[in-house]
Amino acid sequence: MNFDWSQVWDAMPTMLDGLLVALTATGIGYVIALILGLVFALARRSPNRWVSMPVGFLVEFIRSTPLLVQLFFFFYVLPLIGISVSPLATGAFALGLHYATYVSEVYRSGIDGVPPGQWEASTALNLSTRRTWTNVILPQAIPRVVPALANYIIAMFKDTPQLLAITVVEMLGGAIAIGSETFRYSEPIAAAGLVYLFVALVMAWIARIVERRFGQVRV
Amino acid sequence: MTNGDFITFEGVHKAFGQNVVLDDLSFSVGSGERVTLIGPSGSGKTTILRMLMTLTRPDRGTIKVNGDYLYHEERNGQLVPASEAHIRKVRSRITMVFQHFNLFPNMKVLRNVTEAPIHVLGKSKDEAEARGKELLEMVGLGDKLDAHPSQLSGGQQQRVAIARALAVDPDVLLLDEVTSALDPEIAAEVLDVLRDIAKTTDVTMLLVTHAMKFARDVSHRVLMFNEGRIIEDGTPEQLFNEPEQDRTRTFLKSVLDET
């Protein structure tokens, strides 16, 4: 086997274009996951069973089906119901929705970690349910799960190659495109792998800083 | 001292599984009255306080506070389960201080005290802070306004909790074993604060405590609980000096031996 490192470097400009796409999908998807995840977590705790049960079912359903299936589903179904958005937007949304179900479990563990006495004190002061959530419970629940939340952004980033299935060309897609022209696949795919590795390591490093920062907040 | 029936329990029953904690209990407390609930653990004292604070619901029976049902509403002459809004309205006259303080650790001391006045009573920030400082001054923590609860000792935290409770101008103050988690010396500081409050305000107080000397000093009335019932009801002098029931006598003896 002859492995030509110069071809790895030649692939890099394409990889950087792909990286931009991957980071865009991850970034948008992550924001969706953080927001929807919180909505899911709160809805599942609703005293109204007509809210908590359907949302609980939805969360379990999304979590138990593969991301790839969900990507295809939204890619083919959204246009049918009159929503036509770019494949990248579709992919970011599907990624965000998928990860929202995991993120909601992270929020749940954070909320469960707030001592019952905090709820009782809020009742004793007659705070409204909304105030209790926004001013007492969530400010204590969220800091303790920031490290776990930060780890999901890495997992999401590593799932972006699946967007290739719905024609979103990020790094792996770029590598395969190069291969189909040059008939050399190993070098561009190695290039993609290196970029994934590098970016994931940087993210993990940032996550560890965040973890150390929040690990010290004793709430 | 006793102005009518301010708080009334009627036929209140509560069981946790097979364990009956309140057995068709009826009693009332007058406005401004300070009543201490004593008895062995599991006899239902704390459940009474938690029910008034709407933290534990009765299985049956009614509770009235200042003429309003706490868990019921009258609709077309019939008693129906109360809406959340009704419960909130009646509950607004009541507050509670807990054994484990339960300060909000994400807020500084002053914010703990002003949170409810601002967001529940609708006071302005300036007004709430002025009153908050006054109350913290009163409990001897005027220099801790910007501290975090975690930086305070247990006794200091409990005094903040008392200031926080008074800040909502309650008609009824529930004190649930407020010194049980504190060393005796620290407990004395907290009890001194409560003595002052008892002397200077006419807030109705229901206390569960094992600090018998304090109970004797501040209460108008003592209720002895046993197995979910009130077995003796009298002034502190009657109950502590000449208890009628053997059960009361043995209970008091066991508590005094401890301390």
- The pLDDT of residue B85 is 93
End-to-end CA distance of chain A: 57
**What is the percent of chain A where pLDDT is above 90?**
79
Tell whether A80 lies on the interface with B, counting CB pairs under 8 A: no
Three-state secondary structure string covering chain A: CCCCHHHHHHHHHHHHHHHHHHHHHHHHHHHHHHHHHHHHHHHHCCCCHHHHHHHHHHHHHHHCCCHHHHHHHHHHHHHHCCCCCCHHHHHHHHHHHHHHHHHHHHHHHHHHCCCHHHHHHHHHCCCCHHHHHHHHHHHHHHHHHHHHHHHHHHHHHHHHHHHHHHCCCCHHHHHHHHHHHHCCCHHHHHHHHHHHHHHHHHHHHHHHHHHHHHHCCCC
Cα–Cα distance, B117 to B240 (Å, whole number): 39
Per DSSP, the three-state class of B157 is helix
- The pLDDT of residue A207 is 87
Radius of gyration of the CA atoms of chain A, in A: 21
Find tokens 């490290």 and name the residue: A147
Mutate to test the interface with B, among A118, A126, A131, A137 (most CBs of B within 10 A): A126
- The pLDDT of residue A147 is 87
Residues of B in contact with A140 (CB under 8 A): 104-106
Of B95, B100, B107, the CB nearest to A117: B100
Give the least confident one: A52-56, A135-139, A211-215, B101-105: A211-215
Query: Which residue, A193, A150, A178, A149, is CA-closest to A19?
Result: A193
Is residue B27's pLDDT more than 70? Answer: yes
Tell me the nearest-neighbour CA distance from A125 into chain B, angstroms: 6
Of A135, A218, A219, the CB nearest to B115: A135
- The pLDDT of residue B258 is 67
**What is the pLDDT of chain B when averaged over all its residues?**
93
Residue length of chain A: 219
- The pLDDT of residue B1 is 44
Residues of B in contact with A115 (CB under 8 A): 102
The A residues from 13 to 42 touching B (CB cutoff 8 Å) are none
Q: What was the ipTM of the complex prediction? A: 0.93
Residue pLDDT, tens place only, A57-72: 999 999 999 999 999 9
**What average pLDDT does the segment B173-200 reach?**
93
Residue pLDDT, tens place only, A30-54: 999 999 999 999 999 998 999 999 9
- The pLDDT of residue A219 is 47
Cα–Cα distance, A179 to A7 (Å, whole number): 11
- The pLDDT of residue A217 is 53
Residues of B in contact with A131 (CB under 8 A): 119-120
Is residue A216's pLDDT more than 60? Answer: no
Of B106, B120, B168, the CB nearest to A140: B106
Tell me the nearest-neighbour CA distance from A122 into chain B, angstroms: 9
Residues of A in contact with B106 (CB under 8 A): 136, 139-140, 219
Three-state secondary structure string covering B59-80: CEEEEEECCEECCEEEECCEEE
The A residues from 128 to 167 touching B (CB cutoff 8 Å) are 128, 131, 135-136, 139-140
Give the least confident one: A203-217, B14-28, B96-110, B149-163: A203-217
The B residues from 193 to 252 touching A (CB cutoff 8 Å) are none
Residue pLDDT, tens place only, B37-84: 999 988 889 999 999 999 999 999 999 999 899 999 988 889 999 999
Amino acid at B128: A
Give the least confident one: A195-199, A207-211, B194-198, B231-235: A207-211
- At how many degrees (to 10) do helices B125-138 and B154-166 cross? 130
Angle at A65 between CA A60 and CA A67, to 5 degrees: 120
A165 burial level (CB within 10 Å; 0-12, 13-18, 19+): middle
- The pLDDT of residue B184 is 87
CB contact under 8 A, B119 and A219: no
Residue pLDDT, tens place only, B206-256: 999 989 999 999 999 999 999 999 999 999 999 999 999 999 999 998 887
**What average pLDDT does the segment B116-130 reach?**
97
Residues of B in contact with A117 (CB under 8 A): 98, 100, 102
Mutate to test the interface with A, among B100, B108, B118, B119 (most CBs of A within 10 A): B119
Tell whether A118 lies on the interface with B, counting CB pairs under 8 A: yes
Residue pLDDT, tens place only, A141-193: 999 899 899 889 999 999 999 999 999 999 899 999 999 999 999 999 999 99
For chains A and B, what is the number of CB pairs under 8 angstroms? 64
Cα–Cα distance, B174 to B217 (Å, whole number): 17
Ramachandran region, residue B112 (left: φ > 0; alpha: ψ -120 to 50; beta: rest): alpha
**What is the percent of chain A where pLDDT is above 70?**
97
Amino acid at B2: T
**What is the percent of chain B where pLDDT is above 70?**
98
